[in-house]
Amino acid sequence: MKKNILLTGGSGFLGNLLLKKYKNEFNFICVGKNEQKLDLDVYQYSIDDPSLNISEVDNITILHLATFYSKEKEDNEKINDANLLFGKKVLNILNQEKLSNFIYTNTMFYFDEQNKDNFYTYSKSKFSKYLYENVNEGKVSEIYLDNTFHSSDKRKKVIPEMVNTINSNKENPVQNKDAFINLSYAPDVVNTIVAEIKQPSFKVSRITSKHDLNINSIFDYLKYFKVNQKQNKEVLKIKKSKYFSNNLIPEINTNHHESDLYDNLQTLIQIEKN
Protein backbone atom coordinates (compact mmCIF):
# COMPACT_ATOMS: atom_id res chain seq x y z
CA MET A 1 0.00 0.00 0.00
CA LYS A 2 1.26 3.48 -0.89
CA LYS A 3 2.18 5.81 1.95
CA ASN A 4 -0.04 8.86 2.42
CA ILE A 5 1.99 12.07 2.22
CA LEU A 6 0.53 15.50 2.90
CA LEU A 7 2.94 17.76 1.03
CA THR A 8 3.22 21.51 1.48
CA GLY A 9 5.37 23.48 -0.94
CA GLY A 10 4.57 21.25 -3.92
CA SER A 11 4.73 24.27 -6.23
CA GLY A 12 8.16 25.20 -4.92
CA PHE A 13 11.66 24.23 -5.96
CA LEU A 14 12.22 21.06 -3.89
CA GLY A 15 8.55 20.07 -3.86
CA ASN A 16 8.36 20.10 -7.65
CA LEU A 17 11.46 17.91 -7.98
CA LEU A 18 10.06 15.47 -5.42
CA LEU A 19 6.71 15.18 -7.21
CA LYS A 20 8.35 14.59 -10.58
CA LYS A 21 10.35 11.64 -9.29
CA TYR A 22 8.05 10.12 -6.67
CA LYS A 23 4.46 11.03 -7.58
CA ASN A 24 3.67 7.40 -8.50
CA GLU A 25 5.38 5.90 -5.45
CA PHE A 26 3.40 7.76 -2.79
CA ASN A 27 -0.16 8.96 -2.39
CA PHE A 28 0.44 12.73 -2.32
CA ILE A 29 -2.11 15.15 -0.93
CA CYS A 30 -0.80 18.59 -1.85
CA VAL A 31 -1.83 21.56 0.26
CA GLY A 32 -0.96 25.22 -0.23
CA LYS A 33 -2.18 28.72 0.38
CA ASN A 34 -4.22 28.61 -2.83
CA GLU A 35 -6.07 25.99 -4.82
CA GLN A 36 -4.24 25.26 -8.08
CA LYS A 37 -3.14 22.62 -10.54
CA LEU A 38 0.56 21.91 -10.17
CA ASP A 39 2.89 20.58 -12.83
CA LEU A 40 2.42 16.93 -13.81
CA ASP A 41 -1.36 17.28 -13.36
CA VAL A 42 -1.12 17.20 -9.58
CA TYR A 43 -3.93 19.05 -7.78
CA GLN A 44 -3.20 21.30 -4.81
CA TYR A 45 -5.91 22.00 -2.24
CA SER A 46 -6.21 25.27 -0.42
CA ILE A 47 -5.41 24.96 3.29
CA ASP A 48 -8.71 26.77 3.92
CA ASP A 49 -10.80 24.40 1.77
CA PRO A 50 -13.57 23.01 4.05
CA SER A 51 -13.73 19.83 1.95
CA LEU A 52 -10.11 19.00 2.83
CA ASN A 53 -10.67 16.27 5.43
CA ILE A 54 -7.18 15.16 6.46
CA SER A 55 -8.25 13.99 9.91
CA GLU A 56 -9.65 10.74 8.46
CA VAL A 57 -6.48 9.74 6.55
CA ASP A 58 -4.65 6.84 8.24
CA ASN A 59 -0.87 6.72 8.82
CA ILE A 60 -0.24 10.09 7.24
CA THR A 61 3.21 11.66 6.92
CA ILE A 62 3.38 15.45 6.78
CA LEU A 63 6.21 16.75 4.61
CA HIS A 64 6.32 20.47 5.31
CA LEU A 65 8.50 22.13 2.64
CA ALA A 66 6.47 25.32 2.16
CA THR A 67 8.46 28.46 2.92
CA PHE A 68 9.02 32.01 1.79
CA TYR A 69 12.60 33.28 1.65
CA SER A 70 13.65 36.89 1.72
CA LYS A 71 16.03 39.13 3.65
CA GLU A 72 14.04 42.28 2.84
CA LYS A 73 12.13 43.91 5.72
CA GLU A 74 9.21 44.79 3.43
CA ASP A 75 8.63 41.05 2.98
CA ASN A 76 8.29 40.29 6.70
CA GLU A 77 4.51 39.93 6.49
CA LYS A 78 4.82 37.39 3.64
CA ILE A 79 7.53 35.54 5.56
CA ASN A 80 5.40 35.37 8.71
CA ASP A 81 2.36 34.21 6.74
CA ALA A 82 4.22 31.44 4.89
CA ASN A 83 6.67 30.25 7.52
CA LEU A 84 4.62 30.54 10.69
CA LEU A 85 0.88 31.07 10.18
CA PHE A 86 0.55 28.56 7.33
CA GLY A 87 2.37 25.90 9.35
CA LYS A 88 0.01 26.45 12.26
CA LYS A 89 -2.95 25.89 9.91
CA VAL A 90 -1.40 22.59 8.81
CA LEU A 91 -1.16 21.45 12.42
CA ASN A 92 -4.77 22.44 13.04
CA ILE A 93 -6.12 20.04 10.40
CA LEU A 94 -4.24 17.04 11.77
CA ASN A 95 -5.48 14.07 13.70
CA GLN A 96 -2.54 13.36 16.02
CA GLU A 97 -3.56 9.73 16.47
CA LYS A 98 -3.27 9.07 12.73
CA LEU A 99 -0.05 11.03 12.23
CA SER A 100 2.92 8.82 11.37
CA ASN A 101 5.61 11.48 11.05
CA PHE A 102 5.95 15.24 10.66
CA ILE A 103 9.02 16.13 8.57
CA TYR A 104 9.99 19.79 8.75
CA THR A 105 12.81 21.43 6.81
CA ASN A 106 14.47 24.19 8.81
CA THR A 107 17.34 26.50 7.83
CA MET A 108 21.05 26.26 8.60
CA PHE A 109 20.98 30.06 8.81
CA TYR A 110 20.15 29.43 12.47
CA PHE A 111 23.82 28.52 13.00
CA ASP A 112 25.25 31.27 10.79
CA GLU A 113 26.39 34.48 12.50
CA GLN A 114 25.59 36.50 9.38
CA ASN A 115 22.02 35.28 8.96
CA LYS A 116 20.82 33.93 12.30
CA ASP A 117 19.15 37.19 13.36
CA ASN A 118 17.19 37.97 10.20
CA PHE A 119 13.40 37.62 10.19
CA TYR A 120 13.40 34.63 7.85
CA THR A 121 15.53 32.63 10.29
CA TYR A 122 13.41 33.81 13.21
CA SER A 123 10.18 32.67 11.52
CA LYS A 124 11.55 29.20 10.74
CA SER A 125 12.83 28.73 14.29
CA LYS A 126 9.60 30.07 15.77
CA PHE A 127 7.56 27.44 13.92
CA SER A 128 10.02 24.74 14.95
CA LYS A 129 9.37 25.59 18.60
CA TYR A 130 5.61 25.65 17.99
CA LEU A 131 5.84 22.27 16.22
CA TYR A 132 7.47 20.53 19.17
CA GLU A 133 4.96 22.06 21.54
CA ASN A 134 1.97 20.81 19.54
CA VAL A 135 2.92 17.44 18.04
CA ASN A 136 3.07 14.27 20.10
CA GLU A 137 6.57 13.41 21.26
CA GLY A 138 8.56 11.15 18.97
CA LYS A 139 6.75 12.02 15.73
CA VAL A 140 8.92 14.85 14.40
CA SER A 141 11.87 14.63 12.00
CA GLU A 142 13.46 18.06 11.68
CA ILE A 143 15.99 18.47 8.86
CA TYR A 144 18.15 21.58 8.53
CA LEU A 145 19.09 22.62 4.99
CA ASP A 146 21.62 25.10 3.67
CA ASN A 147 21.94 26.25 0.07
CA THR A 148 20.56 23.84 -2.50
CA PHE A 149 21.07 24.03 -6.24
CA HIS A 150 19.58 22.61 -9.44
CA SER A 151 19.06 23.76 -13.02
CA SER A 152 15.33 24.24 -12.37
CA ASP A 153 15.92 26.71 -9.51
CA LYS A 154 14.46 30.13 -10.40
CA ARG A 155 14.76 31.72 -6.96
CA LYS A 156 16.56 35.03 -6.53
CA LYS A 157 19.57 33.45 -4.88
CA VAL A 158 23.27 33.54 -5.63
CA ILE A 159 23.60 30.41 -7.82
CA PRO A 160 20.62 31.07 -10.15
CA GLU A 161 21.71 34.71 -10.49
CA MET A 162 25.23 33.58 -11.33
CA VAL A 163 23.98 31.12 -13.94
CA ASN A 164 21.76 33.77 -15.54
CA THR A 165 24.75 36.10 -15.77
CA ILE A 166 26.92 33.46 -17.45
CA ASN A 167 24.22 32.44 -19.91
CA SER A 168 23.67 36.11 -20.78
CA ASN A 169 27.42 36.72 -21.26
CA LYS A 170 27.42 39.42 -18.60
CA GLU A 171 30.10 40.31 -16.07
CA ASN A 172 30.76 38.40 -12.88
CA PRO A 173 28.13 39.48 -10.28
CA VAL A 174 30.07 38.14 -7.27
CA GLN A 175 30.91 41.01 -4.94
CA ASN A 176 32.63 39.24 -2.05
CA LYS A 177 35.16 37.17 -3.96
CA ASP A 178 36.63 35.63 -0.79
CA ALA A 179 33.34 34.25 0.52
CA PHE A 180 32.61 30.51 0.72
CA ILE A 181 29.24 28.77 0.48
CA ASN A 182 27.92 25.30 1.33
CA LEU A 183 25.96 23.74 -1.53
CA SER A 184 23.86 20.57 -1.73
CA TYR A 185 22.55 19.16 -4.99
CA ALA A 186 18.75 19.26 -4.83
CA PRO A 187 18.14 15.67 -6.04
CA ASP A 188 20.43 14.46 -3.21
CA VAL A 189 18.28 16.46 -0.78
CA VAL A 190 15.07 15.03 -2.23
CA ASN A 191 16.38 11.46 -2.00
CA THR A 192 17.41 12.01 1.61
CA ILE A 193 13.99 13.37 2.52
CA VAL A 194 12.34 10.37 0.84
CA ALA A 195 14.59 8.04 2.85
CA GLU A 196 13.29 9.81 5.97
CA ILE A 197 9.71 9.20 4.79
CA LYS A 198 10.37 5.49 4.29
CA GLN A 199 12.38 4.94 7.48
CA PRO A 200 11.84 7.81 9.91
CA SER A 201 14.62 8.58 12.36
CA PHE A 202 12.48 11.05 14.39
CA LYS A 203 15.65 13.06 14.96
CA VAL A 204 17.02 16.53 14.38
CA SER A 205 19.57 16.27 11.57
CA ARG A 206 20.98 18.23 8.67
CA ILE A 207 21.71 17.85 4.95
CA THR A 208 24.84 19.76 4.04
CA SER A 209 27.84 19.24 1.82
CA LYS A 210 31.10 18.03 3.30
CA HIS A 211 32.78 20.95 1.52
CA ASP A 212 32.46 24.72 1.28
CA LEU A 213 33.06 26.34 -2.10
CA ASN A 214 34.51 29.72 -2.90
CA ILE A 215 31.66 31.60 -4.60
CA ASN A 216 33.86 33.38 -7.08
CA SER A 217 35.48 30.11 -8.13
CA ILE A 218 32.02 28.64 -8.80
CA PHE A 219 31.49 31.42 -11.32
CA ASP A 220 34.91 30.76 -12.87
CA TYR A 221 34.24 27.00 -13.01
CA LEU A 222 30.86 27.42 -14.71
CA LYS A 223 32.18 30.11 -17.05
CA TYR A 224 35.08 27.87 -18.09
CA PHE A 225 32.68 25.01 -18.79
CA LYS A 226 30.40 27.30 -20.81
CA VAL A 227 33.26 28.60 -22.97
CA ASN A 228 35.34 25.44 -23.36
CA GLN A 229 32.65 22.77 -23.04
CA LYS A 230 34.87 20.71 -20.77
CA GLN A 231 35.57 20.38 -17.08
CA ASN A 232 38.48 21.96 -15.19
CA LYS A 233 38.39 20.83 -11.58
CA GLU A 234 41.38 22.94 -10.64
CA VAL A 235 39.34 26.12 -11.08
CA LEU A 236 36.98 25.26 -8.19
CA LYS A 237 38.33 26.25 -4.76
CA ILE A 238 37.15 23.85 -2.07
CA LYS A 239 37.74 23.48 1.65
CA LYS A 240 36.33 21.29 4.41
CA SER A 241 32.93 22.55 5.55
CA LYS A 242 32.92 24.94 8.51
CA TYR A 243 30.01 22.92 9.93
CA PHE A 244 32.34 20.10 10.95
CA SER A 245 34.07 22.36 13.45
CA ASN A 246 30.81 23.58 15.05
CA ASN A 247 29.65 21.28 17.85
CA LEU A 248 26.33 23.12 18.25
CA ILE A 249 24.80 22.02 14.95
CA PRO A 250 22.86 18.76 14.32
CA GLU A 251 24.61 15.71 12.95
CA ILE A 252 24.58 15.17 9.20
CA ASN A 253 21.63 13.02 8.11
CA THR A 254 22.76 9.40 7.94
CA ASN A 255 20.69 8.91 4.77
CA HIS A 256 22.62 11.66 2.99
CA HIS A 257 24.93 10.47 0.22
CA GLU A 258 26.54 13.35 -1.59
CA SER A 259 26.86 12.80 -5.36
CA ASP A 260 29.60 14.19 -7.59
CA LEU A 261 29.96 17.92 -7.04
CA TYR A 262 31.73 18.75 -10.30
CA ASP A 263 29.25 16.93 -12.53
CA ASN A 264 26.28 18.35 -10.63
CA LEU A 265 27.49 21.92 -11.04
CA GLN A 266 27.92 21.40 -14.78
CA THR A 267 24.21 20.65 -15.16
CA LEU A 268 23.53 24.31 -14.36
CA ILE A 269 25.01 25.42 -17.69
CA GLN A 270 23.23 24.79 -20.97
CA ILE A 271 25.69 24.10 -23.77
CA GLU A 272 24.49 25.28 -27.15
CA LYS A 273 24.36 22.45 -29.67
CA ASN A 274 25.45 23.05 -33.24
91-137 pLDDT per residue, tens: 999 899 999 999 999 999 999 888 889 999 999 999 999 999 999 88
Q: Kind of pairing, strands 36-38 and 42-46?
A: antiparallel
pTM: 0.94
CB atoms within 10 A of CB 7: 26
SS3 content of the chain, % helix, strand, coil (to 5): 40, 20, 40
pLDDT at 113: 84
Class of domain 1-145: alpha beta
Q: Where are the domains of the chain?
A: 1-145
Per-residue pLDDT tens digits for 152-183 = 998 888 999 999 999 999 989 898 999 999 99
**Are the C-beta atoms of residues 197 and 185 closer than 8 Å to each other?**
no
Higher pLDDT, 201 or 137: 201
